Structure 1
Amino acid sequence: MTLSAVTLTLGPKGPTLVSAPRMPVEDMVIGRPVAEVAELLPRLFNLCRMAQTVAAKLALGLPATEDPMPEIIRDHVLKLCITLPHAFGLPALAVPEPQLLPHRHPAAMLLGPGGLPDDLDDLRGPLVPLFQHLARTFPPGAATTTPLPAPLHPLVGGAFENSAAGRQADHPLLRRIESSHGRGPLWRLAGLLADLDAALAGRLGGAELVDGIATVPAARGTYALRLTQSGGLVTGLIRRTPTDHILAPGGALRQSLARLPDGRRDLAQQVVALHDPCVPVTVREVEDA
């Protein structure tokens, strides 16, 4: 079963999560022909379709020639230019066009004229106001998470750091922000920018198939999928998405919401936007008795 939507309630004992009826993905694919499932599975979801296409084809033993990198770059650019500025009440940025950097990928302009620096004070370019706004809004230690480990196995569930920032946790910029502010909103924003840098430079790595499990880099982290088959028909499905790890008990989103600045539960939706689960999330507060 796959999450379709969740409600997070902010109460005195921390955030609690209630899931809407789950999407019966297994029922939709088990018993269907392999080629049909490879086409159907990505269409069941609105996001990261290219990553899911590659994973489905790899898991089913079909040729997978698609490249998920353009999708990752596009999603990062839209989030940095439109989604996150809007979430924090700032003007949207113009999405970079090819004519702005005719000899490089246009998204590189978001890194600044000198590329992504190792120190936040050296950051230049159109995203500086967003970084400054987050630094003012979230003091050091606010809305942070503990240093969660990366998933120990592609299909394991639970609280793990499976995110763009987690992929880039060793970047000097993220290490310095973690030291000064913790793994909070500023760290996640820097991680998104560092992940864009890595995608543009071809450093994210590619899709893999190991022991029948396909793993594919996606905008929110790493997507994992196992599909079993017999006689040309799909017989089983197990999938694990970054959102499964984000929303797990003790996971990054619940930790961050539990550590909002005092009296600033109004920032909950902004924190959700930074973590960016791939399902709709409603945040509400427990009413006072």
Structure 2
Amino acid sequence: MTLTAPLTATTAPALPVAQLVIGKPVEEVVKLIPRLFNLCRGSQDVAIRLALGLPLEEAMRPHLAEDFVRDHLLRLGVMLPRQLGLDPLPIAQGGAWFLPQQMPTTLESFEAYLESGTGFAPVFKGLHGIFENGEAVANVPLVADEDLPRAQACENSIAARHFVHPLLLVVQRLKGRGPLWRAVARLLDLEACLTKELPKPRRLENGWAIVPASRGIYALRAQAMDGVVSRFERVTPTDHMLAPNGILAQSLASLPGGKHHLAGLVLDCLDPCSPVTLKGGQGHA
């Protein structure tokens, strides 16, 4: 008899960042934080400077957009095609090469785009064919400023930046908030990066720095006394994703037992910034 155990995710212990930086000079911490986190390094750099009230260079925002473009191209053009059994796409062409001449905004135009074979259409067509409506989906509240400092279940993702875009609404009605929805959100974010429409980093009144990243929004708060860091807190999109009943838990729970072999593909679409080990799935008794 074939049994299907629930899929669960485990992660490695979080790096004790606060212990590493509290008590160190501000200048040293500003240099250290981006080096500790190679993923979204630019976002980390902006966040620590903004949290400590340090000036931001004018080139920092364009550099963020460049980082996001690179991450989106790698995810959509290399990693997801590999999971889908497709050839890698020519990401050296640059982000603009992959944008449709006109972004689909209706079901009919999106279906025509899927059949066009252009840009990322083969990747989206592959995801469309694999997952049915409601499979590997997560329905959590859209992130708000008050949610960012707490590692709780919320939609802190690239999709949150484009939540009401006509194309994303079409895909949501078609498949739910699942792998295709999240992959298409990357296309929209790629367009936003190239047209300079990314949200600006900002600092809340309570001291939290809110900075866009290629996975969602980072929140970081730091304080210093006499040139030494005395307080440090950091919450990432992955913290929200991995929260109890969060995006990852709901996505795995709504993946049918017969498709547990696709859990790795689901994880690649979610793109956590820390290693995740999946356990469970189909077994035999």
Length-normalised TM-score, structure 1: 0.88
Matches within 5 A, 1:8-47: 12=5, 14-47=6-39
- CA distance in 2 between counterparts of 1:132 and 1:54 reads 36
Q: Distance in 2 between matches of 1:168 and 1:175?
A: 9
Q: Contact 1:108–1:115 at 8 Å: present in 2 too?
A: no
Greater share of helix residues, 1 or 2?
A: 2
1:172 is matched with which residue? Answer: 166
Q: Deviations over 1:150-205 (max 9, x none)?
A: 14423122101011112111110110111121111111111111111111111112
Secondary structure, counterpart of 1:264 in structure 2: helix
Match among 246, 264, 267 for residue 269 of structure 1: 264
SS at match of 1:180: helix
Deviations 1:229-287 (A, max 9, x none): 11110011111100001111111111111111341110000000000000111212265
DSSP-derived class of the 1:238 partner = strand
Indicate the SS of the match to 2:32: helix
User: Please, which runs of 5 or more residues in structure 2 have no aligned partner?
Assistant: none
Is the 8 Å Cα contact of residues 228 and 235 (structure 1) preserved in structure 2? yes
Which of 91, 105, 121 is matched with 1:118 structurally? 105
Structure 1 segments unaligned to the other structure (5+ residues):
1-9, 98-105
Structure 2 letter corresponding to 1:79: R
Identity of aligned residues (%): 42
The residue aligned with 1:100 is none
Distance 1:214 1:181, change over 3 A: same
* Conserved? CA contact 2:25–2:227, under 8 Å: yes
**Partner of 1:108 in structure 2?**
96
In 2, Cα distance between equivalents of 1:160 and 1:27: 27
**Residue aligning to 2:43:** 51
Change (3 A) 1:11 1:149: farther
- Give the AA of the match of 2:229: V
1:147 to partner: Cα distance: 4.5
Distance verdict in 2 for CA 1:192–1:229, change over 3 Å: same
CA–CA distance in 1 between the matches of 2:8 and 2:73?
31
Q: How far has the Cα of 1:44 moved from its partner?
A: 0.7
More contact order relative to length (CA 8 Å, sep ≥ 6):
2
* TM-score after normalising by structure 2: 0.89
Offset from partner CA, 1:208-246 (integer Å, 9 cap, x none): 112221111110000110001111100111111000011
Which of 204, 212, 221 aligns to 1:210? It is 204
Q: Is the 8 A contact 2:11 2:275 kept in 1?
A: no
Q: Spell out the pairing of 1:1-289 with structure 2 (5 A cutoff).
A: 12=5, 14-65=6-57, 66-67=60-61, 68-97=64-93, 106-112=94-100, 114-119=101-106, 120-123=110-113, 124=116, 125-153=118-146, 154-211=148-205, 212-285=207-280
The answer (yes or no) to whether the contact 2:140–2:247 under 8 Å persists in 1 is no
SS in structure 2 opposite 1:115? coil
For 1:283, what is the secondary structure of its paired residue?
strand
Contact 1:42/1:49 (<8 A) preserved: yes
The root-mean-square deviation of aligned C-alpha atoms, in Å, is 1.8
Q: Deviation at 1:96?
A: 3.7
Contact 1:159 1:252 in 2 (8 A): yes
In the alignment, the residues of structure 2 paired with residue 159 and residue 217 of structure 1 have an alpha-carbon distance, to the nearest angstrom, of: 18
